[in-house]
Each structure stands twice: as C-alpha cells, then as structure tokens.
C-alpha cells in the first residue's frame, strides 16, 4: 500500500504541478529568504525608501547622489524578501465522508488529495508547508517545514484519519487562528457544513491576524443539485437525524436553499478579501490546481 504523497498523487500528476507556484497576495512573514515580500526591510535588490543616516549604518548604503544634491546623508533601504508559510486546514467532519457514487471519491479523500497537491506545489517553490487536521476537535497539527520528508509524514498522518462523527469547525478555526503568530497563508479545505455565522466569524479571525486566507469549499455534485431519482429515508451523517423525502419533489426548494448557503459564504469571503473557490469532487484536482494557480499568478503581477 502506498503511503505519503504517493498515496495521493502519481508521478504524472506531480510532473504537471512541478512548475507551479502558490503566491501570496499579501505581505507575509517567513524565516528564510525567498520570493515573497516580507514585512521586514532588509537586503535585496528591490528599493523601498530613504532614511537619514545614523552612526553605525553601513557606509555602502549611503546614497551619494542624494548627498550631492542636498548635502545631507541618507541611506537607501531595500524591501526584504522572505519565504511563504502555508497552513493547510483539512476538514474530516462526518459530512466529509459523503460520496454519491462509487466512481467519485469522498469529500475527505478529495480534500486530502488536494492538500497533497498543494503541499507539493508549495515545497517545490521552496516555501514551507504546515497542516491542521480537524473533525469534532483539532486532531493533529504539523508545524511549517520546508521539507518533503515533513510533508510525507504529514500526509501519512492524514492518510491514517477517517471522517469523524460530528464537526466543530468554527471552534477549531478560532483555535488555529490564535496559534499562528506570524502572517501566513491559510488554505481551508472543507464543506463548511457547520454553524454558518460562526464559521464566517472564524474566517474573520484569520483575516484579523492578517493571514492570506483561501477557502476551498468542497461538495459532491449530488449535494449541489440533488439529482437523486428515488425517494428514500435520508440520514444525517453528523447527527444521525432521519427524514423520508422524495428528492424529485424537493429539488427546487433544496437547490434554492443550497444556492443561498453558498452565496452567503461567497459574499462574506468577498467582503473579507478571502479567496473563495467552489470545488466539486467530480472535477480533476490537477486541472483545478493548474487553473487556480495560473489565475492567482496572473492577478499578483
């Protein structure tokens, strides 16, 4: 049985992801020099501003042209560049275990594969990747490391988890938001089927801490369209509640409600400048990653 990244991505898929990079739209704080703009000023080729010379400053940084024009000493300051720290939040709540067809993966499986792909892209860009796994509680947290071994270990841990019974998504998100001190990129892979206002508040918490947040809202296609042919007794996957219904007769109202649910998240994310994406488990992951990262790269130029 394959383990680690090999359990989620085959070499062909990895080859497709090789040249991709995940760029942050905001200033981040890293530990290593890298491609991403840092909140710190430091040594790099990108000019930031001038500052008055004070004793102790490196004489190489004195801007002699300014001295010639003004007879005052100014030193040149440059934008510091750092690496990106990306945290993946993978939801393993009860609802993530749903798959409408044997041909389609469960939402949890899909989210895990997506996490592996994103982790691979991040590490290939020499950025750091960390991971949080949560269900009814925060199940595991892996710190940010710039190492394929660490990613492999994280994915092995993820592989060992199965969807939980319930969900506590909002609480866990608040907890994670408190635990990440420096500005980073937060990627949430979840169906967000929890108390919607609480989830939105948790997302706001991430933004308050100046994190760059990406929400990958994952659904099975049947969840969106309710295109089931037969009436059945439906059982809730988290609280065990049951309901006898004919999906054909309820489709219109169901779709309306689902549309309202998604729309509310979409608008809240737009207001908070959170990148919101809707994913269906019948879409190939590599296609999505490729399209998404290309678009992100285009927008960051």
Partner 1 sequence: MLVFANPTFLWALTAAAIPLMLHMFQRRRTVVTPFPTLRFLKAAQKRSSSRVRFENFLLWLLRTLLLLALGFAFAMPLIRTTAAGSWLSRTRRDVAIVIDASYSMNYELDRGKVWEVCKDAAASIIGGLLPGDRACVYLAAETPVPVIEKPTTEHATVIQAINALKCLPGSSKIDEAVAAAIAVLEQQEGRREREVYVMTDGQALPWQGFRDAAKKDETANTAGRAVITREQRDEISLFALLAGAKAPENAWPSDVKVSPLIMLAGQTARLKASVGRSGSSKEITLGLEIAGQERGKRSVTPLAESEADVEFVVNGLEPGIHVARITTPADALPEDDEFLFLVRVRKQLPALIVGPQNATRYLKAALAPGASDDGVRQIDAAEFDSVDLRDYQAVFLCDAFPLAGQAILRLEEYAHNGGVVIVFPGDRAEISSYGEMHMLPAQPESVENIPAEIAARPLRRIANQPGQVVNFNMSLPPGTVPTVALKRIMRLGALRENAAVLVTAGDDTPLLTGRAVGRGRVFMFTVSADRDWSTLPLTAFFLPVAHQLIRQGAGASVQPPHVVLGIQQPVNEIIPEHREDDVIVSPSGSQLALRDSGNRVLVIENLSEPGIYTRTRSGAETPEPVMAVNTDRTESRLTPLGAAELNEWTSFKKLFVANDPEELSKLVDEYRNGRSLAEMCLWLAMLLALLEWWFANRVLRKQIGASEKLTVDLAGKVVAQ
Binding residue (CB under 8 A) for partner 1 from 243, 264, 297, 300: 243
* Near partner 1 in 265-284, by CB under 8 A: 266, 276-280, 283
Binding residue (CB under 8 A) for partner 1 from 257, 264, 271, 273: 257
Closer residue to partner 1 (CB): 271 or 294: 294
CB of 92 to partner 1, least distance (A): 13
Query: Environment class of residue 152 by beta-carbon count within 10 Å: exposed (0-12), middle (13-18) or buried (19+)?
Result: middle
d(CA 202, CA 276): 15
d(CA 225, CA 6): 33
CA dihedral 35, 38, 44, 48 (to 10 degrees): 130
Any idea what DSSP says for residue 238? Answer: T
Q: Which helix (H) or strand (E) covers residue 289, if one does?
A: helix 285-300
Binding residue (CB under 8 A) for partner 1 from 37, 140, 254, 282: 254
Contact 128, 122 (CB under 8 A): yes
d(CA 226, CA 257): 11
- Name the residue among 2, 283, 276, 286 with its Cα closest to residue 121: 286
Binding mask 53-92 for partner 1 (x = CB under 8 A): ----------------------------------------
Binding residue (CB under 8 A) for partner 1 from 94, 130, 135, 169: 94
- Which residues are 190's β-sheet partners? 217
- Name the residue among 116, 142, 136, 131 with its Cα closest to residue 185: 131
Give the three-state DSSP class for 109: helix
Binding residue (CB under 8 A) for partner 1 from 60, 69, 242, 301: 242
Binding residue (CB under 8 A) for partner 1 from 193, 199, 200, 268: 193
Q: Does 104 contact partner 1 by CB under 8 A? A: no
Q: Does 292 contact partner 1 by CB under 8 A? A: yes
CB of 49 to partner 1, least distance (A): 36
Closer residue to partner 1 (CB): 3 or 253: 253
Cα 273 to Cα 195, 208, 210, 268, 285: the distances in Å are 21, 11, 11, 9, 24
Binding residue (CB under 8 A) for partner 1 from 8, 74, 98, 108: 98
Q: Does 301 contact partner 1 by CB under 8 A? A: no
CB of 138 to partner 1, least distance (A): 21
Stretch binding partner 1 (CB under 8 A), from 45-53, 84-92, 142-150, 246-254: 246-254
Q: Does 286 contact partner 1 by CB under 8 A? A: no
> Would you tell me which residues interact with partner 1 (CB under 8 A)?
94-96, 98, 107, 191, 193, 216, 220, 223-226, 230-238, 241-263, 266, 276-280, 283, 287-288, 291-292, 294-295
């Amino acid at each position: 049985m394959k383990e680690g990244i090999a359990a989620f991505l085959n070499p062909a898929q990895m080859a497709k992801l090789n040249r991709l990079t995940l760029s942050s739209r905001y200033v981040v704080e890293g530990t290593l020099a890298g491609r991403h703009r840092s909140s710190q000023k430091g040594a790099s080729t990108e000019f930031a501003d001038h500052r008055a010379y004070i004793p102790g400053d490196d004489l190489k940084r004195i801007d002699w042209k300014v001295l010639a024009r003004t007879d005052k000493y100014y030193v040149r300051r440059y934008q510091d560049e750092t690496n990106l720290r990306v945290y993946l939040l993978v939801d393993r709540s009860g609802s993530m275990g749903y798959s409408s067809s044997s041909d389609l993966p469960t939402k949890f499986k899909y989210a895990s594969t997506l996490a592996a792909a994103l982790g691979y892209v991040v590490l290939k860009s020499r950025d750091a990747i960390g991971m949080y796994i949560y269900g009814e509680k925060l199940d595991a947290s892996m710190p940010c490391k710039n190492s394929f071994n660490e990613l492999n270990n994280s994915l092995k841990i993820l592989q060992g988890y199965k969807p939980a019974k319930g969900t506590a998504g909002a609480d866990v998100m608040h907890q994670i938001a408190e635990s990440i001190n420096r500005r980073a990129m937060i990627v949430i892979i979840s169906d967000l089927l929890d108390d919607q206002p609480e989830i939105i508040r948790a997302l706001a918490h991430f933004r308050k801490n100046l994190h760059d947040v990406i929400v990958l809202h994952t659904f099975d296609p049947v969840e969106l369209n309710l295109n089931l042919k037969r009436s059945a007794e439906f059982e809730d996957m988290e609280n065990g509640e049951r309901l006898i219904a004919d999906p054909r007769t309820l489709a219109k109202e169901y779709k309306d409600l689902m549309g309202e649910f998604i729309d509310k998240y979409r608008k809240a994310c737009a207001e908070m400048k959170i990148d919101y994406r809707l994913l269906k488990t019948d879409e190939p992951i590599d296609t999505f990653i490729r399209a998404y990262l290309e678009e992100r790269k285009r927008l960051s130029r």
